[in-house]
């Protein structure tokens, strides 16, 4: 393992011995990082390793407990994001900060200092976006734009401020493969022009392809600085977690079982002004298989999950069938009693109540399961805590004290808990939305293996995911959703990423119809 840093000369940014404590917890423990102009530098680590804390300090959202920053060799204090932007530091966050009801130019104006001259700013937006291969219509309403274009707005908003350093947090998580390739072209051009890029990603193959150097954090400390191109994805993951990350084992499946979950000609209007209508969706999920629905975020995945789980009723009872029973008008508890389990995308606030302990959060989806957690209206606290302990042990959920509140867990640990809570029931049907969103390699491998194992035990597993690596790793069949239209269903070994990317961009939308399996 080689330390590729060769001294302080010519560095744009130096973070020296950064310490950040939150009470008794140390998020960053004497972290040092140096960035050169024109360098694309990866910042890697498990969930809770301290990556987000460090970049928030660099961007001025947090102040360090100890240590200091140098900018062009001079010690600086960055008291706020506005001060960071004034220095020349821009950041594109994982979750966009855009207003759907405003146009592109109006959203950009919110971050551009000075008087708002709509026509002049629109001209600048059009010119800069075209110059960097990120074309935008300044007059377009954000609500009408796909997620890939929304990310362009965030990038162009930073570029208008002519940054010397651009921080990007999981930038390809919401992009098609084609959009990701275009983003890489843009980032390489920025680097060629002297802009440094600090790049956070859990997608290790793209880090190997794109980045010049990588700093790896573990438990708040720097454990390595390497040339990612000289490493493998496995060796990078090993440095991140301190141990080998097991590959997902996908055993040969038995002949497909009967359809345990069906969607039949489902159409549903948008729930609000910025929702996505579902148009004539049909899908079968069979026992013994993992079926994946791929797609860029915001194309109807949330609406599909809501109608499958019973959070939103379908137009007719027959629109959704679970274990042979028409369920379109049944609520989520009735669907659970038929053997179904559901894991929504938002783990904190939807899957789990932030201020509840893990035992109480078990009760949210298990109160009517027949586990004896509730009797004659009273909660059996001992049983709920014991069940939570069983889940946390099996899924390696790490926490600081017994019955820890959900909002005190890292994102990856909370995701392992909410997935484990549902799998502990051994459901006959499992619908899970974004199973490994924002979790590290070790947690992702554990969750994916658990999904495959449940399917091989005979359950029908439907995975809604934006991550093509994940989909190709675990899925037996794949469909693609784009702007509320579902494609045909394909055998996973009969379709490639390029074709999926085209479908994610809407290649199938001209003639939406019932999904069909090419094997039938």
What are the tens digits of pLDDT across the range 435-486?
987 677 788 888 999 999 999 999 999 999 988 889 999 999 999 999 899 9
pLDDT of 510: 58
At which residue do the structure tokens 């969930």 appear? 47
pLDDT of 92: 86
Q: Are residues 363 and 495 in the same domain?
A: no
Residues 6 or more apart in contact with residue 464 via CB below 8 angstroms: 292, 293, 295, 301, 304, 305, 345, 431, 432, 433, 434
Radius of gyration of the chain (CA): 24
Q: Are residues 421 and 431 in the same domain?
A: no
Q: Are residues 434 and 406 in the same domain?
A: no
Whether 247 maps to a domain, the answer reads no
pLDDT of 2: 43
pLDDT of 253: 65
What are the tens digits of pLDDT across the range 189-228?
999 999 999 999 888 889 999 999 999 999 899 999 999 9
Whether 62 maps to a domain, the answer reads yes
Q: Which residue range is the domain that position 389 belongs to?
A: 348-426
Three-class DSSP category at 51 = helix
What are the tens digits of pLDDT across the range 476-490?
999 999 989 999 999
What are the tens digits of pLDDT across the range 139-198?
999 888 877 788 889 889 988 988 999 999 888 876 777 778 888 999 999 999 999 999
Q: Are residues 49 and 98 in the same domain?
A: yes
- Whether the CB-CB separation of 420 and 395 falls below 8 Å is answered with yes
Q: Are residues 265 and 412 in the same domain?
A: no
* Band of residue 517 on the pLDDT scale cut at 50, 70, 90: very low
pLDDT of 107: 92
Q: Are residues 261 and 359 in the same domain?
A: no
Q: Which of 330, 313, 325, 329 is nearest to 268 (CA)?
A: 313
* Band of residue 254 on the pLDDT scale cut at 50, 70, 90: low
pLDDT of 79: 96
* Band of residue 9 on the pLDDT scale cut at 50, 70, 90: low
pLDDT of 3: 44
Q: Are residues 302 and 443 in the same domain?
A: yes
Q: Are residues 221 and 92 in the same domain?
A: yes
Query: What is the mean predicted confidence (pLDDT) over 391-420?
Result: 84
What are the tens digits of pLDDT across the range 267-314?
999 887 668 899 999 999 999 999 999 998 788 999 999 999 999 999
What pTM was estimated for this model as a whole?
0.74
Q: Give the separation between CA 55 and CA 197, rounded to whole angstroms.
A: 12
Given a cut of 50, whether residue 422 has pLDDT beyond it is yes
Q: Are residues 188 and 61 in the same domain?
A: yes
What are the tens digits of pLDDT across the range 79-121?
999 999 999 999 988 767 889 899 999 999 988 877 888 899 9
Whether 69 maps to a domain, the answer reads yes
Pairing relation of β-strands 477-482 and 490-491?
antiparallel
Q: Are residues 226 and 302 in the same domain?
A: no
pLDDT of 24: 84
Residue 74 belongs to domain with CATH number: 3.40.50.300
Given 426, 450, 480, the domain boundary residue is 426
* Band of residue 515 on the pLDDT scale cut at 50, 70, 90: very low
Q: Give the separation between CA 142 and CA 240, rounded to whole angstroms.
A: 37
What are the tens digits of pLDDT across the range 328-359?
999 999 999 999 999 998 888 889 999 999 98
pLDDT of 418: 94
- Does residue 251 or residue 76 have the better pLDDT? 76
Q: Are residues 271 and 327 in the same domain?
A: yes
Whether 42 maps to a domain, the answer reads yes
| CB-facing half-sphere around the CA of 140: CA atoms within 13 A | 16
pLDDT of 1: 40
pLDDT of 123: 93
Total number of domains in the chain? 3
Given 426, 461, 490, the domain boundary residue is 426
Q: Are residues 404 and 462 in the same domain?
A: no
């Amino acid at each position: 393992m080689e330390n590729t840093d060769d001294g302080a000369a010519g560095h744009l940014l130096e973070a020296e011995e950064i310490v950040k404590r939150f009470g008794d917890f140390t998020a960053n423990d004497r972290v040092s990082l140096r960035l050169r102009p024109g360098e694309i530098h990866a910042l890697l680590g498990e969930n809770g390793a301290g990556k987000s804390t460090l970049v928030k300090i660099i961007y001025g959202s947090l102040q360090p407990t100890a240590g200091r920053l140098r900018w062009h060799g001079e010690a600086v204090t960055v008291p706020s994001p506005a001060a960071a932007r004034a220095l020349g530091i821009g950041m594109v966050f994982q979750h966009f900060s855009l207003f759907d009801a405003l146009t592109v130019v109006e959203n950009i104006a919110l971050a551009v200092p000075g008087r708002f001259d709509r026509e002049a700013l629109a001209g600048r937006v059009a010119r800069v976006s075209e110059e960097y291969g990120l074309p935008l219509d300044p007059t377009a309403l954000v609500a009408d734009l796909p997620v890939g274009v929304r990310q362009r707005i965030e990038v162009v908003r930073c570029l208008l401020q002519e940054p010397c350093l651009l921080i990007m947090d999981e930038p390809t998580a919401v992009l098609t493969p084609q959009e990701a390739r275009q983003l890489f072209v843009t980032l390489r051009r920025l680097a060629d022009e002297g802009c440094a890029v600090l790049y956070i990603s859990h997608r290790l193959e793209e880090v190997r392809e794109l980045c010049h150097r990588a700093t790896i954090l573990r438990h708040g400390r720097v454990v390595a600085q390497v040339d990612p191109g000289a490493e493998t994805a496995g060796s990078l993951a090993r440095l991140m977690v301190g141990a080998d990350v097991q590959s997902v084992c996908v055993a040969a499946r038995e002949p497909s079982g009967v359809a345990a979950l069906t969607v039949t000609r489902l159409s549903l209007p948008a729930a609000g002004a910025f929702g996505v209508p579902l148009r004539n969706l049909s899908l079968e999920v069979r026992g013994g298989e993992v079926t994946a629905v791929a797609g860029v975020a915001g194309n109807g995945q949330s609406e599909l999950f809501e109608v499958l789980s019973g959070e939103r009723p379908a137009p007719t009872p027959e629109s959704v069938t679970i274990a042979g029973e028409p369920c379109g008008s049944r609520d989520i508890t009735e669907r659970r009693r038929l053997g179904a389990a559901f894991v929504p995308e938002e783990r904190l606030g939807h899957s789990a109540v932030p201020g509840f302990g893990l035992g109480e959060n078990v009760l949210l989806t298990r109160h009517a399961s027949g586990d004896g957690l509730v009797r004659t209206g009273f909660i059996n606290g001992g049983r709920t805590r014991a069940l939570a302990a069983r889940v946390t042990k099996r899924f390696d959920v790490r926490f600081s004290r017994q019955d820890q509140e959900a909002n005190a867990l890292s994102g990856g640990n909370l995701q392992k808990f909410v997935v484990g809570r549902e799998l502990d029931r051994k459901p006959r049907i499992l619908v899970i939305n974004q199973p490994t969103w924002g979790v590290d390699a070790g947690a992702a491998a554990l969750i994916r293996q658990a999904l495959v194992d449940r399917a091989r035990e005979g359950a029908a597993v439907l995975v809604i995911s934006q991550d093509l690596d994940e989909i190709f790793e675990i899925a037996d069949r794949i469909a693609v959703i784009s702007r509320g239209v579902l494609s045909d269903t394909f055998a996973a070994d009969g379709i490639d990423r390029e074709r999926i990317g085209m479908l994610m961009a809407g290649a199938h939308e001209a003639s939406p119809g019932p999904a069909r399996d090419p094997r039938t």
